[in-house]
Chain A
Amino acid sequence: MEKVKVTIDGITIEVDAGTSILNAARQIGGDVVPPAMCYYSKLKDSGGKCRTCLVKVSKGSEKDPRPMPKLLASCRTAVMDGMEVQNITSLEVVEARKGVVEMLLINHPLDCPVCDQAGECHLQDLAYEHGVEKTRYEFERRTFDRIDIGDKIQLHMTRCILCYRCVFVADQLTNQRVHGILGRGDASEISTYIEKAIDNDFSGNVIDVCPVGALTDRTFRFKNRVWFTKPVDAHRDCPTCSGKVTLWYKGEEVIRVTAPKDQFGEVEDFICNTCRFETKNTSDWVIEGPRQIANTSVISSNHYEIAQPPPVIKTNLVLQEANKEQFEKATRS
C-alpha cells in the first residue's frame, strides 16, 4: 500500500494513502486527536455532520501546498502526501469547535444528573473541554416525550444530537431498518414514524454507538451510576457474535453488558442482543480481568488516579516545540 506523510500539530506520521486526517491523528494518539461526535470508524459513510472534528489544513500537500480556505471535517478528509494539519494548535479550530459545542448544547437538556449516559457521555466530555460555563441561548428548547422502542431500548429524543450513527447501525447490521431521520432542520428527529419496535439480533448496538443518552438500555435504567460500577472484560462462545463483552458489576451482580470500547469510545466489535440483554450471570461468561479505562474518564474516579481537568490547549512540550512559530503568531495578535 502506498504510504503518505502527514504532519498534525507538528507531529509527522506515515499512513496508508486514503486514510482520513482523523484516523491519522488517532494513529499518533494523545492530544492531537480531534473529537468526533458523529464519525464512527466501524460504520461506513458516518461522519461529517457534527463538525466537532474540524481542523485547519495549513498546507494542502507537497504537490499543491496551498492551504485550504475553510476548516475541514477531519473524519471525512483524506490525507495527502506532505499535508500539514493544525488541530489544537490553531486558535481558529478551537474557536470553531467551541461554537459547535455551543450549538450542540442549544437543544440538549442539561439533565446529566438523571441521565444514564452521564459519566460516559461524549457530549459531556466535549462540553467540559470546550464549552463555556454559560449558555447564551435564551429560548425554549426542543423537547420530545420519551418512548420505548421495544422492551429493551428507550429513545429520549430530547437528548439526541442527530449524529445518524444509530441509523447507520440499523442499515449496516440489520436487514430491515425501521427507524430513521424524520422531518428536517432543527425539527428532525429519530423515529419510526408509526409505532414500531426496533427489534432484531443486533438492535442493541444503537445504545453503544449513541454518543449521548438518547438511546439507553432499559434493563440498566436507573440501576446505578456508571462510575460506581466495575467494568470487567469477559467472553463466551456465542453463535451470533464474537461474544466479547464488558460486564459492568455492582457488587456481585452484572447490571449491564456492553461491547468493549476502545480509547476513542468506539466498540471493538458489535455484539448481539442475547449477549447484551439475556446473559447477565457471571456463570454465563469467562472472565478475563478488569477493563482498562482511560484515567481521564469519570469511570476511573474511584480507582484513585486523580485526573487533571484537560484544558483545551494542553501543556505539551512536544507540541509546543513543534508549533513554536504558530504559537508565537497566535499569541502576538
Chain B
Amino acid sequence: MLSITETEVVSFSQELISRCNEVVARYPEGKQKSALLPILHFVQAEFGWVSAPAMDRVAEFLDIAPIEVYEVATFYTMFFLQPRGKYVLEVCRTGPCCLVGAEKIMRYIEQKLEVKEGEVTADGMFSWRGVECLAACGMAPVLQIGPEYTFYENLDERRVDELISNLKSKQ
C-alpha cells in the first residue's frame, strides 16, 4: 500500500483532454468507463508512468471512484505504477521465444545495461523486463518498446547492440 504524504495534483494538457473526450464518444452514454484503458495508455505515454495522482485525475475525468482506476491499473501488466527508464525493453520470455534464445537475449541485455530486471539505469534511460507472450513467435526472439510499442524481431546480440546505441543517440 502506498502512503501518500503530499497531495500532488496532476493536470492534463488540453490536447490530452480532447483526446480523452474523443475516446469517450465511442461508447454509449453513461458507459464512459469503457474509456479507462485507452486513457491510461495516454497517461502513461504522456507521463512515462501511471502515478496515483494521475489515476485520481482519470477517475475525476470519467466520474468514477478512484479505486475503480486502481483496480484496473494494477490488473493489467502494461501500466507502470512506478517510474521506469525512458525506454523500457520488454523481452518476450515465453516458450516459443525461449526455444530460439530469448533467455540468452535477456541475460545479454542485463549485462549490457548493467541493471537487473525492473531497475532503471543510472542515466534514467533504460529499464528492461521479461514479459509474457507477445504473439510474434514466428519472428522470435522479440522485444518491444513503448509507448509506440515498436517491435524488434529475430534478435541476436548484434541487433541488441544496434538498438541500444540507436536509442542512446536519439536523445
- The residues of A with any CB-CB pair to B shorter than 8 Å are 147, 176-184, 191-195
The answer on a CB contact under 8 Å between A182 and B74 is: yes
The answer on a CB contact under 8 Å between A183 and B74 is: yes
Measured CA separation A217–B52 after assembly (Å) = 29
The answer on a CB contact under 8 Å between B1 and A181 is: no
Residues in A whose Cβ lies below 8 Å from that of B157: none
Whether a CB of chain A sits under 8 angstroms from the CB of B122 is no
Closest Cβ of chain B to A198, distance in Å, is 10
The answer on a CB contact under 8 Å between B74 and A184 is: yes
The answer on a CB contact under 8 Å between A181 and B65 is: no
On whether A195 and B74 interact (CB within 8 A), knowing A178-B65, A180-B67, the answer reads no
A179 to chain B: closest residue by CB: B67
The answer on a CB contact under 8 Å between A193 and B1 is: yes
Closest Cβ of chain A to B63, distance in Å, is 13
On whether A194 and B3 interact (CB within 8 A), knowing A178-B67, A179-B67, the answer reads yes
Chain B count of residues within 8 A CB distance of the other chain: 13
Residues in A whose Cβ lies below 8 Å from that of B70: 180, 182, 193-194
Q: Mark B1-26, 1 if CB is under 8 A from A, else 0.
A: 11110000000000000000000000
- Of the residues A183, A193, A194, A195, contact of B75 by C-beta under 8 Å: A183
Residues in B whose Cβ lies below 8 Å from that of A194: 1-4, 52, 70
Within 8 A of A (CB), among B33-89: 52, 65-68, 70-71, 74-75
The answer on a CB contact under 8 Å between A184 and B4 is: no
Measured CA separation A192–B4 after assembly (Å) = 12
The answer on a CB contact under 8 Å between B75 and A177 is: no
On whether A193 and B3 interact (CB within 8 A), knowing A183-B74, A184-B74, the answer reads no
The answer on a CB contact under 8 Å between A193 and B65 is: no
